[in-house]
Every structure is written in structure tokens, then in C-alpha cells.
Amino acid sequence: MSTRKFRFGVVAAQAGSGEDWLNKARRIESLGFDTMVMPDTLQYSLAPFPALAAAAAATRTLRIGTYVLANDYRHPVMVAKEAATLDFISGGRLELGIGAGRPNSATDNTMLGLPFDSGSIRVDRLAEALAILKPLLAGQTVDFSGTHYTVSKAAIAPAPVQNPVPILIAAGQPRLLKLAAREADIITLAIQPEETEAEVAERIDVIRQTAGDRFAQINININLMAVGGQVPRHIQMSRGAEAAQQLAQSDAIPVLKGTPDQMCDRLAWLREKFAINYVVVGDELEAPGIDSAAGSRRARSSGYGTSISSCEADMTTAHISTTHPAPTTARTRLRINGVDRSLAIDVRVTLLDALREYLHLTGTKKGCDHGECGACTVLVDGRRINACLTLAVMHAGQAITTIEGLAQGDQLHPMQEAFIQQDAFQCGYCTPGQIISAVALLNEGHTGSADEIREWMSGNICRCGAYPNIVEAIQYVAADATR
Ligand code: FES
Ligand code: FES
């Protein structure tokens, strides 16, 4: 039986502001997660080193990590320098994740004028980078001459607190899996939903055989694609809402579904079957998923099999029970439609519920409560977000605009007028979200064509099918704005 201890992490990439980012880190720590990790992209995430430094400064025990650095455009000596500094200022909390490049990171390479080489070349480059990076982090002076890097008497300061700094490598194909098995302390398996148990077991075997005695010390990690019926928005966008829902209900390996007990059973099975002991979830999903699974387990005292007891013990004594606080109430100042509103509110209340249940601003609608329909769209500092997917306390001090805030007295917003003129609704339930989204769309400049409008309004569902008139209303206002 596997005795690997369970670990839980959250992948965070973006924030509405610096304060929002710090609050996110604090919240992840307060929920009892072990790690907060960040991807490395030019466009879709904050820059990992400064953002993780800020997250570390806002927390005390939360481990921080890159998930994963794009090796192609980062020189290993500079990575060692940045990583050592981050480990130093975080008091030894860094887990350094690095990879050979996701298939869709070719765009980033292009922006930097770098080729996106074949997989084998990128893996070779990563192997050379690790041969430089690891001894540098261990305090050695490095001379290296390879195909991709030449380094002469390189040395860095400060020394990291940890020795060694844990290295995470994201790997899918055998060549990279073998490199990871030789070099990594944590291996992230990039598992697609279509992958069978046999295929995943095959990959674990590659790691096991290559790592030899080290295998027992390696953490095997996966990034969950759905938890408790919820799917991160980026997966919904890439797969479509229907396919994402099917995924959430499927038996795919990177999916946890059912009751908290069933989810915990599934975690125990993943560990038993594939040695997977470390799971991360997108920051949209962390609260209802893992946390509630752990909480439910903690409330029970007996009646589980050996592996489940082990799962329970890890979750409670090693992970959750020592850090998970009782629900707390916080006084939060929200700036809604230009007016400051002060609320004493449970920190777990969503922005949507705060608006509707506490402030009685019921114009913002609750459709799915899962980030799928867009009925709850509001503007936060001018950006549209789903209010059901975010917590009210995370938006202290930010300017929140709801449908009630668009009109100036009796004067409707031009988008409201256009929806009426173009008959762009039937039952009207989705309409506040549609209008708020449309207002943001105008500012984003995505009104070049009907197709573009449809694409950028695709997060707002209308069960009455008023889409043609919604597009016409938006085009009408867009045209008016250019007159
Ligand atoms: S209620 Fe928020 S997206 Fe549906
Ligand atoms: S008008 Fe009825 S849901 Fe859109």
C-alpha cells in the first residue's frame, strides 16, 4: 500500500488587483492548502516570481511554486538566481516547477523570436538547464558547455534556505518522464481526460523503472480538471459548456465527483493505483471541492477501510485540521455603483450572494451558480466577472458595477435603451448579465463583427434564444459610438 502523504494545492494565475492577489494567497492558506502554484505565460498569468514573492509575504506557511516555468525562454543561471532569492525571502517555501513547454506555448516563443523546437530538442534543452540549475541552487560554481548553453564559472547569491530546493517537472511523453524520474522531486502528469487507466499506469511504470529506489520519495501530482461538478472557466471555454459538463460527470482520471466521501475515496484510489498523492485545483474550484471533502472526512470517526483511514489521517492531522480555521466573519467595505457599503459578512459568501441577499441588489441574477450561464455578470474595476465564482471579501475597495448602476437617474444607459429598442430579450432573466457583459465588450473593443460579438458574448447564455437581437443591440450601440 502506498504511504505517500496527500498534498493539496491551488493553481492561481490572475487577480483583479494587488490586494486581490494577496487576499487570494491568504485565503488559500487559511483553507489549509499546502501550496499555491502559478503557470508561466506571457499573456494569461501574472509573472510568477514577483507574484509568488508577494504571496509568500502575505502568508506564513503556504508553500509557493512555479507550475511550471517555460524553460525555453528562461536562462538557467537567471532561474537559479530568481529561485534562490524567492526561496530565501519566503523562508524556504519554494517548489520550483519547470517544463519543456506546453504545445500552446509556441505563441509565447514566437513573440520572443524563439523557435518552438521539436519535443526532443526542448527536452534536451531542459536536461541541460537542470544540469546547470541544480548545482547552482546547491551552492556550487558551474562550468558547462552543451548544445544549448555555455556557462562559465557561474555562481549565485543568496543561497536558498532549502538544500535542495524541490524540483517539479511536468511530463507527459516517455523521454520527458524519464528525465523527470531522474531529476525531479515532484512529477506532474499531464493527463488528458480521454486517457485510460492502462495508459496512465504505463506512464507511472516508466517513472517507477527509471527512478528505481527514488520512486518512493517522488510526489506524483495531477491538476484536476473538474471537482464536485465544477469545471474551470478556461476548460469550459476550450471544450464548450456541454462537453465540460460531460467531463465533470465522467470517470476521467483528473475528475473528482460525487459526495465528499466519494471524492475522498477517489483520492485514495488514485494514490493506491497510480501513486498520485498530490492534487491541485484551479483557484475557481478550491473551496467546494477538496476542502469540503476533507471537512466531511474530519467529521467522521470510523468505518473506513485501511486506505481510506490513511487518506483521512493525512487529510486531517497532516493537512487540514491543524490549519483549517472556523468560519469567520469579516467587515468588508464594498464600493457598489459608486456608493461605499460596509458589511459584516462570512468570508465564504460569494459576491453574488452579497449583492442579492445582503444588499438586496437583485438585478444581478443567479442562474447556475457555477460560472456557466453569465446571469450574474458584474463589472469589477471595469472588468466583467461572474459574481457567483468569487468571494465578496476579495473585492474590498474595488469599484463594482451592477445593472442597477448603469442608468443615470431616469436616463437609461445606451445599452439598456438598445436592448429595449431591438427587443433583445424575452423572459429577461439573462438580460442584466447580457447588458453588463455587452457594456464591457464595448470597452474591450470586441465589436468588429457579429461573429466577434457572438464569440465574446459566449459566456452569457440565453435560454430564450434572444441571441440575434442581442447582437443587433450591441452593434447598434457600437455603431452609435463611432458616429
Ligand atoms: S449564476 Fe454565475 S455564471 Fe451562472
Ligand atoms: S431572455 Fe430569457 S433567458 Fe435570455
Give the per-residue pLDDT at 81: 98
The length of the chain is: 483
Give the DSSP letter string of 310-376. HHHHIIIIIIITTTPPPP-EEEEEEEETTEEEEEEEETT-BHHHIIIIIS--TTS--SSSSSSS-TT
Indicate if the pLDDT at residue 69 is higher than 90.
yes
- pLDDT reading at 322 higher than 60: no
What is the domain range of residue 349?
333-363+380-404
Of residues 243 and 213, the one with the higher pLDDT is: 213
Q: Collapsing DSSP states into helix, strand and coil, what is residue 472?
A: helix
**Model confidence at 236: pLDDT above 60:** yes
Mean pLDDT score, 105-126 = 92
Asked whether residue 272 falls in the same domain as residue 340, the answer is no
CB 207 within 8 A of CB 177: yes
49, 123 contact by CB (below 8 A): no
Ligand nearest to the CA of 372: 1
Q: Look-up: residue for cell 528562461?
A: 74
Pocket probe mutation, ligand 1, options 285, 351, 388, 437, max atoms within 8 Å of Cβ: 388
How far, in Å, from the CA of 274 to the mean position of ligand 1? 35
Residue 269: its pLDDT value, please?
A: 92
Whether 466 and 400 map to the same domain: the answer is no
Contact 16, 398 (CB under 8 A): yes
d(CA 80, CA 19): 28
Q: Which atom of ligand 2 is nearest to the CA of 465?
A: 4
116 and 220 in a single domain? The answer is yes
Whether ligand 1 lies within 6 angstroms of the CB of 384 is answered as: no
State the closest ligand 2 atom to the C-alpha of 463, by its place in the atom list counted from 1.
3
Q: How far apart (Å, rounded) are the C-alpha atoms in residues 26 and 62?
A: 9
Mean pLDDT for 341-366 is: 90
Could you report how far apart the first and last alpha carbons of the chain are, in Å? 71
Query: Which range (143-147, 148-152, 266-270, 291-295) has the least confidence?
Result: 291-295
pLDDT (average), residues 81-100: 96
If asked whether residues 209 and 341 sit together in one domain, one would say: no
355: domain CATH number?
3.10.20.30
- Give the pLDDT of residue 327: 45
Predicted local confidence at residue 243, as pLDDT: 82
Please determine, for residue 459, whether its predicted confidence score (pLDDT) is greater than 80.
yes
Q: Where residue 276 sits, what CATH number does that domain have?
A: 3.20.20.30
Across 324-338, average pLDDT: 72
| Structural domain contains residue 373 | no
pLDDT of residue 227: 84
Say whether both 277 and 297 belong to one domain. Answer: yes
101 and 31 together in one domain = yes
**How far is the C-alpha of 377 from the C-alpha of 366, rounded, in Å?**
9
Q: What amino acid is encoded at 255 in this protein? A: V
Closest CA to 479 of 459, 435, 449: 449
Q: Say which ligand is closest to the CA of 460.
A: 1
What is the residue with the minimal CA distance to atom 4 of ligand 2?
Answer: 462
pLDDT on residue 303: 25
Q: Both 431 and 398 in a single domain?
A: no
* Cβ–Cβ < 8 Å for 11, 290: no
Residue identified by cell 484551479 is: 282
319 CA → ligand 2 middle, Å:
45
Q: Contact, 313 vs 321, CB < 8 A? A: no
Nearest ligand for residue 461 CA:
2
Q: What domain count does the chain have?
A: 3
> 278 with 186: CB under 8 angstroms?
yes
What 8-state DSSP symbol labels residue 460? S
Three-state DSSP string of 91-111: CCCEEEEEECCCHHHHHHHHH
In the DSSP assignment, the letter for residue 387 is G
More confident residue, 340 or 230: 340
User: Does position 305 have pLDDT exceeding 60, yes or no?
Assistant: no
DSSP 278-322: EEEEETTTTIIIIIHHHHHHHH--S---HHHHHHHHIIIIIIITT
Q: How far apart are CA 274 and CA 310, in angstroms?
A: 16
**Which residue has the least CA distance to atom 3 on ligand 1?**
371
With a 6 Å cutoff on the Cβ, whether 404 touches ligand 1 is no
User: Would you say residue 465 has pLDDT above 90?
Assistant: yes
State residue 58's pLDDT score: 94
Choose from 292-296, 445-449, 466-470 the range with maximum mean pLDDT. Answer: 466-470
Which protein residues touch ligand 2 with a CB less than 6 Å away?
425-431, 462-464, 466
What spacing in Å lies between the alpha carbon of 433 and ligand 2's midpoint? 10
325 confidence band (pLDDT: 50, 70, 90): very low
Look at residue 103 in the predicted model and tell me its pLDDT. 67
Residues in CB range of 262: below 8 A, 6 or more apart? none
- Whether 351 is in the pocket of ligand 1, judged by its Cβ within 6 Å, is no
CA of 444 to the centre of ligand 1 (A): 21
When the pLDDT of each residue in the chain is averaged and rounded to a whole number, the result is: 87
**Does residue 316 lie within any of the structural domains?**
no
State the amino acid at position 159 in one-letter form: A
Q: Who contacts 429 (Cβ-Cβ below 8 Å, separation ≥6)?
A: 365, 367, 375, 463
| Site to substitute for ligand 2 among 403, 423, 426, most atoms within 8 A of C-beta | 426
Question: Rounded to whole angstroms, how far apart are CA atoms 400 and 384?
Answer: 10
Residue 293 has pLDDT above 60, yes or no: no
| 403-420 tens-digit pLDDT | 999 999 999 999 999 999
pLDDT, average across residues 18-30: 90
DSSP letter at 411 equals B
Q: Which residue has the cell 519547470?
A: 98
Same domain, 42 and 179: yes
Q: What was the pLDDT predicted at 315?
A: 45
- Among 216-230, 266-280, 285-299, name the one with the lowest average pLDDT: 285-299
CA distance 437 to 377: 7
Domain harbouring 422, CATH code: 1.10.150.120
Q: In this structure, are 93 and 158 located in the same domain?
A: yes
pLDDT attached to residue 328:
62
Tell me the ligand closest to 370's alpha carbon.
1
The CB of 386 under 6 Å from ligand 1? The reply is: yes
Give the SS3 label for residue 439. Answer: helix
Task: Specify the ligand 1 atom closest to the Cα of 459.
Answer: 3
Q: Please check whether residue 385 lies inside any domain of the structure.
A: yes
Is 284 inside a domain boundary?
A: yes
Confidence of residue 285 (pLDDT cuts 50, 70, 90): low
Does residue 88 lie in a domain region?
yes
For the chain, how many helices (H) and strands (E)?
17, 18
- C-alpha span between 154 and 306 (Å, rounded): 50
Looking at the structure, tell me whether residues 339 and 472 fall in a common domain. Answer: no
| Band of residue 393 on the pLDDT scale cut at 50, 70, 90 | confident
**Residue 237 banded pLDDT, cuts 50, 70, 90:** low
Residues 6+ apart with CB under 8 A from 50: none
Q: Is residue 418 part of a domain?
A: yes
Average pLDDT over residues 315-319: 37
In a domain, 188, yes or no: yes
Residue 375 domain-assigned (yes or no): no
Judge if 52 and 155 occupy the same domain: yes
The bound ligand whose nearest atom lies closest to the alpha carbon of 377 is: 1
Q: What is the pLDDT of residue 313?
A: 40
Q: Which amino acid is at 453?
A: I
Distance from the alpha carbon of residue 368 to the mean position of ligand 2, in angstroms: 14
| Helix extents (H) in 31-96 | 48-58, 76-89
Answer yes or no: are the C-beta atoms of 205 and 215 closer than 8 Å.
no
Section 295-309 average pLDDT: 30
- Written as nine digits, the cell of 135 is 548545482
- What distance in angstroms lies between residue 41's CA and the mean position of ligand 1's atoms? 27
398/468 same-domain check: no
At 308 the pLDDT is 30
